[in-house]
Amino acid sequence: MYGKPTLGPRGRRGVLTAATTACALLGTTLLTLDLTSSSEPPPVPKDAVRAPARPSNPSVGERPRGERGTLTQSPPTRVEIPAIGLGTDVKRVALNTAGAIAMPSDADHTGWYTGSPSPGSQGNSILVGHLDSRSGPAAFYGLGAVEEGDRITIDRADGRTATYVVDSMTIWPKDDFPSQRVYGPTPEPRLTLLTCADWDDGNETYRSNLIVNAHLKLVEGNAT
């Protein structure tokens, strides 16, 4: 993109290029010590549905997947998806001034929206995570590789662990985002994970969100 500029103050750019290249050479030397760092774009979910048709009555009238014991409220502390080697600590997040879910300050952590139920209890529990930071992969970098049937375990502050099983992966564009459908209450215990998708090179932003939905399989452990 910047390799073939056709207009502009070439003299100034030449100086900048020279300086940048000099620094880059130094950096390259340092980099030879660590060439393993990933430069691959994040995995794209191969089974994800893109902006599916909306049901006429979203998230209403779904039958619970059987009555099972659910837990009382206790905040989540850690999420793991063994199939894709994902494991991060979970912090509390609220809404930002725009009304969207705020992101955890450390991109290596995931965030539990405190306006949603604790994982392991009834309803739609919501976790968000960065796909990448400015410098590299973040908490939910690998989420695009998740597949239907993969297990997600969530440790809670009360010492219990809730295990969910992935049902679906969906990509929704941010400019036509079905908030009620994604965030609304559900009659069954459900886990909703969100991260970004669809890098827009021109605007240097992600255009979409990847949504992973999972249902509660079991709860284990004794409350501490």
Partner 1 sequence: MKKSLTATCAAAVALAPLMALAPAATAGGKPAPEQHGKVALHATLDPFKVNKVDGHGSAEVRLQDRHVTVRVKAQGLLNAPHAQHFHIAAKGVCPPESAAQEHNGKLSLSTVDGQPFYGRIGASLTTKGDTSPKSALAVDRFPTGSQYHYKRSFTVSKETAKSLREGTAVVVVHGIDYNKNGKYDFNLGKSLLDPKLPLEATAPALCGTLKKTPTGGISGGLGGTQGDGFEAGPAGLAGAGLLAAGAGFYLRRRSIRSN
Do the strands 110-113 and 86-93 form a parallel or antiparallel pair, or are they unpaired? parallel
DSSP H/E element including 20: helix 10-31
Q: Let me know if 109 is a catalytic residue.
A: no
Q: Mask: binding to partner 1, 5-44, rule CB under 8 A, as x and -?
A: xxxxx--xx--xx-xxxxxx-xxx-xx-xxxxxxxxxx--
Would you say 184 or 221 has its CB closer to partner 1? 184
Nearest residue to 191 via CA among 109, 70, 85, 100:
70
Phi, psi angle pair for 193, to nearest 5°: -110, 140
Interface residue with partner 1, options 74, 88, 122, 153 (CB under 8 A):
122
Interface residue with partner 1, options 65, 78, 151, 174 (CB under 8 A):
174
Of the listed pieces 48-56, 80-88, 155-163, 187-195, which binds partner 1 according to CB under 8 A? 187-195
Q: Let me know if 196 is a catalytic residue.
A: yes
Cβ partners under 8 Å of residue 206, min gap 6? 131, 174, 196, 197, 198, 199, 200
Q: Show the DSSP H helices in 158-198 as ranges.
A: 179-183
The footprint of partner 1 on residues 154-173 (CB under 8 A) is 172
The reply to whether 103 sits near partner 1 by the rule CB under 8 A is yes
CA distances from 43 to 144, 168, 198, 224 (A): 5, 16, 11, 38
Q: How far is the CB of 21 from partner 1 (least distance, A)?
A: 7
Residues in contact with partner 1, total (CB under 8 A)?
A: 88
Would you say 26 or 149 has its CB closer to partner 1? 26
Would you say 131 or 152 has its CB closer to partner 1? 131
Q: How far is the CB of 190 from partner 1 (least distance, A)?
A: 10
Q: How far is the CB of 114 from partner 1 (least distance, A)?
A: 8
Would you say 82 or 115 has its CB closer to partner 1? 115
The amino acid at 152: I
Per-residue tokens: 99: 């009304």
The footprint of partner 1 on residues 39-78 (CB under 8 A) is 39-42, 72-73
Q: How far apart are CA 52 and CA 172, in angstroms?
A: 8
Residues tagged active-site:
130, 196
